[in-house]
Amino acid sequence: MKTRKTARPVTAADHAPAATGETPAPPSRPLPGLRLGPHLTTAGGLGHTALLAEEVGANTFQFFTRNPRGGAARAITDQEIEEWQKERQRLGLYPVVGHLPYTVNLAAPNPETHAFAARILAEDWQRMALLGVEYLVVHPGSHGGAGADAGIDRIVAAISTALEKTNGPEMLLLETMAGQGSEVGGHLEELATILERLGNPPQVGVCLDSCHLFAAGHDLSTPEGVDRLLRELDRTVGLERVKASHLNDSKVELASRRDRHERIGQGRLGDNGIGAYVRNPFIARLPLLLETPVEDYREYAQEIRRVLRLAGQQAGPAAQASGA
């Protein structure tokens, strides 16, 4: 597979640029420090989700675009959009990330399953535009034994169809995967090939996942390991394509090819690895989305506090009030 080559070294000056040339206007509040938040429910509408983010001390968040098991999408009313925009401006929630349900398999060899995935992708990309959500994350999919190249062809076909139906600045992000089973995206070269076959459109980029990357063989336990990852990203997909990161510890060892999230500091990455990751100048400029296995969303305040401590930053009042 072809890879993207560049002689430019990764430096502290590198950062994640805006989604596309037409950047959405940021909220009126300043955006200091890390952009950090959890995956939250949208039951009650996005305006209510904004209040949950405020409660745990987040300044960004991620949500499922519809039931994670698939099915019909929840209707979005004008009232919900108005309330959501008001609350996000008040709280400075930016950028915000939607995540397609896990049932969406863009690489599926079954024609009906693939057609369903392509339809949901197109529909939900348009729904994110309606809500002003900056990024939409998708797992590339599983080829089901047909081979990575065949899976990539189907992923490209689905995304190409969706691109014909969207013209806003909202960006689709392909997630880096652990590489378990027949997953596409466990190798950075696979994501690079998808982008290349699409023609490198400005509306498509990459979302990292610290747990998945570690499971795929990228040792993020030291600053040097994070630097190596960034060089690999720059060589393959290009750093300018990397727009967000899921922030998770890993229950399982390096290069296990198993996707098992753990709470921050309690897994194989530990405080040292998570600290090395979030203190990297490039990573620190990305929105960081927690998908750690908490029992109750309020526990995300503790996760946020711990991440900020590891990053050498001060937690906000909500996270401080929760304890660590």
- Catalytic residue IDs: 69, 99, 102, 139, 175, 209, 212, 246, 259, 261, 291
CA-CA distance, 166 to 172, in Å (whole number)?
11
Q: Quick one: which of 188, 176, 173, 286 has its CA closest to 235? A: 188
Give CA–CA dist 40/56, Å, rounded.
11
- 3-state SS, 32-66, equals CCCEEEEECCCCCCHHHHHHHHHHCCCCCCEEECC
Cα distances (angstroms) measured from residue 83 to each of 27, 35, 55: 15, 22, 17
Distance CA 6, CA 206 (A): 18
Euclidean distance between CA atoms 155 and 148, whole angstroms? 10
Q: How far is CA 86 from the centre of its chain?
A: 24
- Strand locations in 157-241, DSSP E? 171-175, 204-209
State the first-to-last Cα distance of the chain, in angstroms, to the nearest integer: 45
Q: Which one-letter DSSP state was computed for residue 183?
A: B
| SS3 state at 162 | helix
Q: Which two tokens stand for residue 243?
A: 């727009």
Which residues make Cβ contacts (< 8 Å) with residue 212, sequence separation at least 6? 175, 176, 177, 178, 186, 246, 259
How far, rounded to the nearest angstrom, does the alpha carbon of residue 202 sit from its chain's CA centroid?
A: 17
DSSP-based helix, strand, coil % in the chain, nearest 5? 40, 15, 50
